[in-house]
Amino acid sequence: MQTKASKTKKGADGTATTPEKCHDPLKTSLPLSKNSVTVLARRYLQKDEQGRVIERPEDMFKRVAAAIAGAEALHDEKADIEALTETFYELMTSLRFMPNSPTLMNAGRELGQLSACFVLPVEDSIESIFETVKHTAMIHKSGGGTGFSFSRIRPEGDRVKSTHGVASGPISFMTIFDVATETIKQGGTRRGANMGILRVDHPDIEKFITAKTKTDRLNNFNISVALTERFMEAVEQGEEYGLINPKTKQETGRVSAPMIFDKIVEAAWASGEPGIIFLDRINQKNPTPQLGEIESTNPCGEQPLLPYESCNLGSINLGLAVKDGSIDYPGLKDTVWKAVHFLDNVIDVNKFPLDEIRKATLNTRKIGLGVMGFADMLIKLNVPYNSSRAVLIAEEIMAFIDKESKAASVELAKKRGNFPAYKGSVYEKTAPYMRNATTTTIAPTGTISIIADTSSGIEPIFAVSYIRKVLDGTELIEAHPLFIKAMKERGLYTEDLINRIAKAGSIQGFDEVPEDLRHIFVTSMDISPEDHIAIQAAFQRNTDNAVSKTINFPNSAIKEDIKKAYSLAWHQGLKGITIYRYGSRPVQVLNLKKEEAKTPALQTAPQPAKNGKIEPRPRPARTIGVTERVRTGCGNLYVTVNRDEKDICEVFAQMGKAGGCAACQMEAESRLISLALRSGIRVESIIKQMIGIRCPSPSWQDGEQILSCPDAMARVMRGVAQIETDGAVKEKALAAGSTCPECGGALEPEGGCLLCRSCGFSKCD
């Protein structure tokens, strides 16, 4: 494999590119799906100053492989860098392993920041808080996500001696972090994600629990309550527990543990947040207790970290670990060892955004090897996801990965030395060698699972067949390739069946699908919360860090169901849990199901003129409508939608302070939309053309991103018409809680994050 070019030119970031990289990036010899290549071109491949892709997928993997293999020279001056580059290249291009997104994006490029997750300390002083805000901005700019514990900040109303005033409390400071995150777009490709954590014994815990019920703030945060063992015991025993002022360490009062627990349950039932983490359990497994207690995790909750630590993640594709109907353990061992080698090298070549992060990360050298494609593996093994056999496989395979990752880390330590904080760690008495303080983490795989064309993380498949919106707005119906294969082998495949399944997502209830396939191809909403938790617990039992997974509930679930799940998660040994009740997010008010629509859109006939051309129906003297204010990046936009006796007949938009060209353009848009409506054009078609149009200044309102003024007008029309403009895509968006802000596709809940499998957008990855 050639890793050097005879002639080079510079890309936008100053890195060398070859002339062949200006060729069509969608043409590749690698075993990548069209969707994978499209996502790579949009988010990962290098671009020039004009935004044109100048790197093929092959070039990206060569760039990453060469950069990571280059670390070998630090440990062995005689190392065969070229051979190791080839090894890492094959590891990734075979789709057996993928590192986290920042490594794919930045390895071998000027930025060089390769870590996905960080935790920063937040102390109880203005100086410390704003220093952390600055550090957060630097991390987000480099492509990472951040986690914080706000538990050290004194409660709202507490006396501040230095100013003789009163403290504003942790939630107010969280808002500052949220606004800073909204302002910074990470490295031109990703927007930052945050985790905000508060201990359950903090005096402001009730305010924290309900902090995200108001959807106009904290939209760049996942929030979780840190539950202690004492609290959970008090819940089960119906007792009170003490609230502790973090500044004075004094008890400020006592409250009912069951009452607080019920408030957490109610908020999660309503919106999916807050999540919960079991803080004492996390610290029981802290590999370096001599360095201090763990207070927070990364944004999706799977990576507990000490202050200033970062972690480098990667995932093995279990969908490719099946050979001749059984698990290929020799092949899996080879992948694990190479992946641990890869991730340890990442630490050495990483360009850390802060010196404190470099020191803390090198001190423990934590890596997090996880998995993706678990659902695909089960399908290939003909094992239902919601079965006791699946739980046994989950526990067995993660035990194998954890054991082999430790063995690989030991061998690296023999050559390179133990991690510096080894003395005093849990390994000091059990293992004479260990290169990495942790080796395993189950993270949400987000876009890397799209690149690998496999199921996400340890989640079940989201849908057997679905509508995928490609980047030009075209809709394509796709189905799981293993389902297509199985149906074709039995002579039962028809496009009509696939189209009908796409409207439901699940195949349960389709009698033309054989019963055994209905058992195997189960989706996230076909599986009970208890079965979801059983799989998560099986993986957690053999994972150093934590396990990211979404526990799905039907819309009909009651609060008692959530409470039982939380209790079960504690008893099953989980370190945290994220639940999602179908259709519970407030933004879904506009995504009504067809049977719930009160005023369906009518398809009115156009008025033929004498010359045979379409003539718009006349506007009546009186119309009835609504005016809605939408906050856009340009200011408040006032959108009026009016109806006549047949249907929506006109739309007008006016900017609060707009004038000149902006006002003219909005008037022109309004007139053309109104003309189209009165000419019989379906409102769905108009909305499809306008929704998703982006301008340079998007904004947020009610938890929904407003991409532009035309996008705002389309969203208001959609709400007034009470329709689904994207069919089954909107059904899945209802389950996920929102539509993709970039392509309008469905956002799937995945491990505390939201992922669009159409274009690769992810809140966290």
Catalytic-residue membership of 300: yes
Do 349 and 109 contact (CB within 8 A), yes or no? no
Residue 3 predicted with pLDDT over 90:
no
Handedness of CA 713, 719, 725, 728 (dihedral sign): positive
Place 727 in a pLDDT band, splitting at 50, 70 and 90. very low
Do 46 and 53 meet the contact criterion of CB atoms below 8 Å apart? yes
**Residue 170: which pLDDT band, with cuts at 50, 70 and 90?**
very high
Best-predicted range by mean pLDDT among 287-296, 593-602, 752-761? Answer: 287-296
The pLDDT score that the predictor gives to residue 149 is: 98
Is the pLDDT at 622 greater than 80, yes or no? no
Strands 117-119 and 753-756, bridge-based pairing:
unpaired
Is the sign of the CA dihedral 101, 107, 109, 111 positive or negative? Answer: positive
Closest CA to 198 of 171, 178, 218: 171
Q: How many other CB atoms are there within 10 angstroms of residue 157's CB atom?
A: 11
Q: Which of 302, 459, 684, 731 is catalytic?
A: 302
Give 409 or 691, the one with higher predicted confidence. 409
pLDDT at position 765, please? 55
The sign of the torsion formed by the CA atoms of 529, 534, 537, 543 equals: negative
Q: Give catalytic status of residue 100 as yes or no.
A: no
CA pair distance 710, 302, nearest whole angstrom: 38
Query: Using CB atoms within 10 A of its CB, is residue 330 exposed (0-12), middle (13-18) or buried (19+)?
Result: exposed
C-beta of residue 379 within 8 angstroms of C-beta of residue 521: yes
Among 656-665, 737-746, 750-759, which range has the highest average pLDDT? 750-759
Task: Report how far residue 304's alpha carbon sits from residue 445's, in angstroms, rounded to the nearest whole number.
Answer: 17
Taking phi over 0 as left and psi of -120 to 50 as alpha, with beta for the rest, 583 belongs to: left
Q: Is pLDDT above 60 for 87?
A: yes
Strands (E), 261-354: 275-278, 296-297, 304-305, 310-317, 322-323, 326-327
Query: Is 298 in the active site?
Result: yes
In this predicted structure, the answer to whether residue 613 has a pLDDT above a threshold of 50 is yes
pLDDT at site 363: 98
Tell me what the mean pLDDT of segment 635-651 comes to.
Answer: 85
Mean pLDDT of 647-671: 78
> What is the DSSP pairing of strand 310-317 with strand 97-99?
antiparallel
Going by C-alpha positions, the residue among 499, 446, 462, 442 that lies closest to residue 376 is: 462
- Which parts of 161-216 are beta strand (E)? 165-166, 185-186, 190-191, 194-199
pLDDT tens per residue across span 106-121 = 999 999 999 999 999 9
Looking at 40-54, 240-254, 372-386, 410-424, which range is the least confident one? Answer: 40-54
- C-alpha 98/C-alpha 317 separation (Å) is 8
Q: Which one is predicted more confidently, 710 or 263?
A: 263
pLDDT at 135: 96
Least reliable range by pLDDT among 144-148, 375-379, 405-409: 144-148
- Provide mean pLDDT across the span 417-428: 98
For residues 698 and 706, is the Cβ–Cβ distance under 8 A?
Answer: yes
Q: Is a pLDDT exceeding 50 seen at residue 585?
A: yes
Q: Is the pLDDT of residue 754 over 80?
A: no
Parallel, antiparallel, or unpaired: how do β-strands 194-199 and 221-227 relate?
parallel
Sign, CA dihedral 536-537-542-547, equals positive
Q: Binning pLDDT at 50, 70 and 90, where does residue 4 land?
A: very low
Q: List phi, psi (to 5°) of 616.
A: -65, 145
Please, what's the largest Cα pairwise distance for the chain? 94
Q: Which two tokens stand for residue 204?
A: 């402001």
Instruction: Output the pLDDT for position 601.
Output: 36
**pLDDT above 70: percentage of residues in the chain:** 84
pLDDT category, 1, cuts 50, 70, 90?
very low
289 DSSP assignment: G
Task: For the domain covering 119-297, report its CATH number.
Answer: 3.20.70.20
Task: Indicate the average pLDDT of the chain.
Answer: 86
Burial 385-416 (b: 16+ CB within 10 A, else e): bbbeebbebbbebbebbbebbbebbbebbeeb
Q: How many CB atoms lie within 10 A of CB 697?
A: 12
Query: pLDDT confidence of 62, banded at 50, 70, 90?
Result: very high
Q: Determine the pLDDT at residue 612.
A: 56
Q: Is the pLDDT of residue 84 over 80?
A: yes
| Helix (H/G/I), strand (E/B), else coil: 274 | coil
Give whole-number Cα distances, 32 to 156, 656, 662, in Å: 53, 48, 43
Residue 598's pLDDT is what? 36
Rounded to whole angstroms, the Cα distance separating 153 from 148 reads 11
Residue among 407, 312, 325, 410 at smallest CA distance from 362: 312
State the average pLDDT over residues 737-751: 67
At residue 745, the pLDDT reads 67
Question: 221-279, pLDDT tens digit by residue?
Answer: 999 999 999 999 999 999 999 999 999 999 999 999 999 999 999 999 988 899 999 99
Least confident among 35-44, 304-313, 592-601: 592-601
pLDDT of residue 674: 87
Confidence of residue 609 (pLDDT cuts 50, 70, 90): low
Task: Please state, in angstroms and as integers, the Cα–Cα distance from residue 132 to each residue in 114, 125, 223, following that order.
Answer: 20, 11, 18
**Would you call 360 helix, strand, or coil by DSSP?**
helix
* Beta-strand relationship, 145-149 and 194-199: parallel
Assigned token pair, 451: 């690149």
Cis amide linkage into residue 432, ω under 30° from 0: no
Mean pLDDT of 122-139: 94
Is this prediction's pTM over 0.75? yes
Tell me what pLDDT residue 111 has: 93
Q: Under the phi-then-psi rule, with left for phi > 0, alpha for psi from -120 to 50, and beta for the rest, what region is 265?
A: alpha
Q: How far apart are the C-alpha atoms of 534 and 445, rounded to whole Å?
A: 20
Higher pLDDT, 51 or 235: 235
Q: Is the pLDDT of residue 183 over 90?
A: no
Choose the weakest-confidence range: 189-193, 230-234, 325-329, 557-561: 189-193
Q: Which of 72, 117, 300, 552 is catalytic?
A: 300
Considering only residues 702 and 76, tell me which one the structure prediction assigns the higher pLDDT. 76
Q: Give the model's pLDDT for residue 188.
A: 45
Confidence of residue 625 (pLDDT cuts 50, 70, 90): confident
Sorted by where each begins, the domain ranges of the chain are 1-93, 119-297, 592-723
- Annotated catalytic residue, options 286, 298, 418, 545: 298
Cα separation, 104 vs 59, whole angstroms: 11
- Model confidence pLDDT, tens digit, residues 300-359: 999 999 999 999 999 999 999 999 999 999 999 999 999 999 999 999 999 999 999 999
Please return the burial class of 623, using the count of CB atoms within 10 Å of its CB with bins 0-12, 13-18 and 19+. middle
For 737, other C-beta atoms within 10 Å of its C-beta total 24
19 pLDDT tier (thresholds 50, 70, 90): very low
The pLDDT confidence band at residue 13, using thresholds 50, 70 and 90, is very low
Instruction: Give residue 734's pLDDT band: very low, low, confident or very high (50, 70, 90).
Output: very low
Helix (H) or strand (E) segment spanning residue 98: strand 97-99
